[in-house]
Amino acid sequence: MQILKSPNSCLFSPRESLASSQTLNLFKYLINRFTSEFDPMELLGRGAFGRVYKAKHKMLNNVYYAVKVVRCEEKSLREMGTLSELLHPNIVRYYTFWVEDSGYRNPELADGALSFFSRTSSNSSAKYFYIQMELCDTKTLKHWIVEKNKESLQDSKRREEGHSITEQIVSAVEYIHSKRHVHRDLKPENILFGLDGKAKIGDFGLVTQDDDGDDNALMERSRERGTHSYMAPEQREKKYDRKVDIFALGLIYFEILWKLSTGHERAEVTELISSLTDLRTYKCDVRISFF
């Protein structure tokens, strides 16, 4: 007996459709440029905007990169656009980027490739940037400061190393400003150390263009972009310029050279400096360990 199917009837059962979808997702995974050209070695970090992997290039012997995987958003475009213009020994080097239809997670950190792609493919319009960058040490300037704070106050290496690190950061910021950019989020967590030991500024997600070459020109900005504890007073308003980076540099330099034992103590010093730059008097009762 012949069974006639209506034109709208499903040719596959739900189970067969799911299997077909998973096969397609696996195929996408296999032809993904990231997994085709690189061997992902280690998850270096994750956050709200994406993940960063240590990856070995398959065609080059013992050559490693950091590959950042993020959703296609304005923040990511801004970061890539800026990095492509910057080439400085104290700025994390950018090499290239490409776009994929899906993100990536190490199967060891998820429930396998199939389950990951079945989740990410639920939004078929989602695109992902893969940003190939210089591989740096996982230790940031924040880690360096924490380690130094545990050591004896008589350790003269802190001052010597601190001056060297500061000179490198200042050189990078000067270069960024020469290219008419404002970083807006300078802090110890965003300063990395290259495999060559040099300090390198990273995370340009909040960078903005300073279109006017006049240092005194104040630009309209988005209010309160950046990390609050390193934010210049004027950065909480809509008008500010590249000097907000210099303010953050001063706070970072303070932390590099002097031991602030607690977060509360550090917050009080930050408030003190902010108040002084705002031309107000402030009574200081903070104990700081000087060298």
Catalytic residue (one of 101, 185, 196, 245):
185
- Does residue 215 have an active-site annotation? no
Residues belonging to the binding site for ATP are 68
Residues belonging to the binding site are 68
Cα separations in angstroms, 198 against 47, 152, 192, 245? 25, 24, 8, 20
Q: What is the distance between the alpha carbons of residues 192 and 179, in angstroms, rounded to a whole number? A: 21
The three-state DSSP-derived secondary structure of the chain is CCCCCCCCCCCCCHHHHHHHHHHHHHHHHHHCHHHHHEEEEEEEEECCCEEEEEEEECCCCCCEEEEEEEECCHHHHHHHHHHCCCCCCCECCEEEEEEECCCCCCCCCCCHHHHHHHHHCCCCCCCEEEEEECCEEEEEHHHHHHHHHCCCCCCCHHHHHHHHHHHHHHHHHHHHHHCCEECCCCCHHHEEEECCCCEEECCCCCCEECCCCCCCCCEECCCCCCCHHHCCHHHHCCEECCHHHHHHHHHHHHHHHCECCCHHHHHHHHHHHHHHHCCCCCCCCCCCECC
Which residues does the annotation mark as catalytic?
Answer: 185
